[in-house]
Amino acid sequence: MRRRNQQHKLTFWFSIGLMLLLSGGWILWTTSANVGSPLVINEFLAGNDSSAVDEDGDYSDWIEVYNRSDQPVNLSGWSLTDEPERPLKWPFPEMTLGSHHYLLVFASGKNRVEHGGEGVLHTNFKLSKTDQFLGLHNVLEARFMDQVTLDSFGYFRNVSYGRYEDVAGYFTQPTPGQANTTAFIRPEDVPAVAGFAEQPADDNLLISEEVIALILQQSPLRVSEIMYNPQGGSDYEFIELQNVGDAPFDLGGVYFDKGIEFSFHYGVPPLEPGEFVVLAANQAVFAERYPEVEIGGTFDKNGIFDGNLSNSGEQIILKDLIGNVVAFIEYDDENGWPLSADGLGDSLVLINPNGDPTNPHNWRASADLYGSPGRAEPTFGTPISMEWSQRLQNDLHRASDAFPPLLSLLSF
């Protein structure tokens, strides 16, 4: 596993162009504001394609400045910059920002300072995903009154960074030009799930509800079905992934960081919306039981993973090229998880792609014996009584080998 991760790190430098096209990433900033400064950088977003549109119809990145004082502030002499050695890189026009008012500035590189009509402002620089600095400077004070320093790498597309009750962190619901919301994630909750913090290989990552919601928002990839303890032994194990989003998902470089060992080759076709890809433990026995299912599809003709899925439950985590979590599950063979998936012929099937994948209520046992890899799961009849009647009959039938005396007592 460590050797596989080292290979990914080496490949990173040769794939920098590809990385910048990926849909999301991780970022950790530290902020500092002069206690006496009336103005602060309150929120900003690098990687905008949904939260704010400029007057040209472009989804430009943006910076929000807030006057936290009880007096209006003349912005003459104030400036924004992404270069600490050039504090006056983009000076504000002659204008006044009212007390406790917000000012939205697009970081588009269009360099527009006319403050009239709709009052749209644009800096002469863009927010890079790799820049190390964002500063708010005052020429009369001859110093930066607020600044943001990039401590790590990557970013979250359509997730802003800013202040909430004097604490800096992420906002899954950006609010350009308005007070920041409570959809807030502290930075210390991000590195652990991203894999930055070193952790023993046998320990499960502790993922908060807020971070789970963020991952589900950022990535459309789901572990949609898993056969972890099949009848016939571990050679019949499989795991199914699905793109539940509305746009293609790039599988190039995606790898399993916990659970089984497998990585998708670079340059594989994207996983289209609604499309499945199935990975298996043994090609020959899988083909015998599922002759119409193509292992790996068009994404990896081998499609065979190393290692085995735990029969007692475990955490499975997939990461992208730069280490961002893109899919995960933590299943169990008890504690509310479907019992018939534990050696009685069923698979675990995801029934709520937007729900917490570590919660057994978002999973059920497969409708078909041996599951339905590579295709949508069959559904039961509409009436709930018919559904559970069929479910009970299937479970009793599948339990016959394990508990024949019990089944004979029930068959009267």
Answer yes or no: do 312 and 408 share one domain: no
Residue 405 CA: distances (Å) to CA of 80, 190, 409, 410: 78, 51, 6, 9
Answer yes or no: do 40 and 181 share one domain: yes
Residue whose C-alpha is closest to residue 54's, from 111, 93, 99: 111
Question: Does the CA dihedral 315-268-159-14 come out positive or negative?
Answer: positive
Q: Residues 294-306: pLDDT tens digits? A: 898 766 557 899 8
Q: Residues 299-351: pLDDT tens digits? A: 655 789 989 999 999 999 998 866 788 999 999 999 999 999 999 999 999 99
CA dist 250 and 374 (Å) reads 18
Which residues, at least 6 apart from 216, have a Cβ–Cβ distance to it below 8 Å?
354
pLDDT of residue 195: 39
* Residue 20 lies inside a defined structural domain of this protein: no
* Residue 17 lies inside a defined structural domain of this protein: no
Residue 56 CA: distances (Å) to CA of 47, 53, 178, 382: 17, 8, 21, 49
pLDDT of residue 150: 61
* Residue 11 lies inside a defined structural domain of this protein: no
Structure tokens at 209: 């509800």
pLDDT of residue 73: 97
* Residue 4 lies inside a defined structural domain of this protein: no
CATH at residue 84: 2.60.40.1260
Answer yes or no: do 247 and 103 share one domain: no
- The ranges of the chain with pLDDT < 50 are 1-30, 116-117, 152-154, 191-202, 380-390, 393, 401-412
Half-sphere exposure of 47 (CA within 13 A, CB side): 21
Query: Domain range for residue 399?
Result: 384-412
pLDDT of residue 114: 73
Is pTM, for the whole model, over 0.75? no
Answer yes or no: do 392 and 368 share one domain: no
The total number of structural domains in the chain stands at 3
pLDDT of residue 72: 97
